[in-house]
Amino acid sequence: MASGQVNKEQFKNVPGVLGTSPAPSPVPIPNARVGLSPLAIDAFVSGSMNAPHVFTIAGALPNSSEPYANLYSAINESRAILEQDDSDPDAPMRPSLATWQRATDFLAKVARFSLARLGYTMRIPLISVADEGSVDLFWKTQGGTLLMNFPSDPCEQATYYGENAAGETISGSVVGVEGGPLLATWLIQAG
């Protein structure tokens, strides 16, 4: 299918996505040391949250028994990109804290949605600097890829592009957390 389109047909039987079948009740979400309040999670899961909100990654890692431990560990490790020396002419421009937070906030929310609503523990993407101070999230699996870019300008929308093994593509942009459920579902299908 052409780039710039989303093949919604493939998501029609996934509960809670595209509104084509009833969504299950949210499963209990473990208390996290970083991230969203239960109210915020409910808002995201129910789709009523349509704007980004601020939350801060705490310094301490969450308890390893939490299902999100690896995710939070990856997010915390990715903070290193904020400390990189970008005075080297060959080095990429360092992203701002706000840009990194925007990307990792989105990631945490999609991971929570994926587990709470779809029952799927999302793979962890590679979190990296990209051009002009933007931040990338990049998933690469045997079944496909998904690239998301969060621009340094907070007024600009994040964009994404993915391809699966069948050659199908997904492309678009997201405002706040909109689009998160669709991308979570894409990642499930990509394996």
Partner 1 sequence: MAHSGGIDHWPVEEIPDPDRLFYRVHVNSLAQGQLVPGALREQRNPEAPQERGSMSTEWEKYASPEEALSRSSDSKKNGIVSLVVGEVRKIPGLVARHDPNTPRPPLRSHAGIEGISAPVGAAGESPYAGLAAKKRKTMIREKLLKVCEWVIEPPGDPSSERAGVGDSSPP
Closest listed residue to residue 152, CA positions, set 178, 170, 132? 132
CA distances from 6 to 33, 61, 146, 168 (A): 35, 36, 13, 9
Closest approach of partner 1 to the CB of residue 126, in Å: 4
CA distance 72 to 11: 28
177 sits near partner 1 (criterion: CB under 8 A): no
Contact 43, 36 (CB under 8 A): no
Nearer Cβ to partner 1 (23/124)? 124
Binding-site size for partner 1 (CB under 8 A) equals 53
Closest approach of partner 1 to the CB of residue 141, in Å: 6
- String of contacts with partner 1 for each residue 128-167, x by CB under 8 A: xxxx--xxx-xxxxx--x-xxx-x----xx-xxxxx----
Using N-to-C axis directions, what is the helix angle for 180-190 and 97-118, rounded to 10°?
70
Binding residues vs partner 1 (CB under 8 A): 3-4, 69-71, 73-74, 77-78, 81, 84-86, 88-92, 121-131, 134-136, 138-142, 145, 147-149, 151, 156-157, 159-163, 169, 171-173
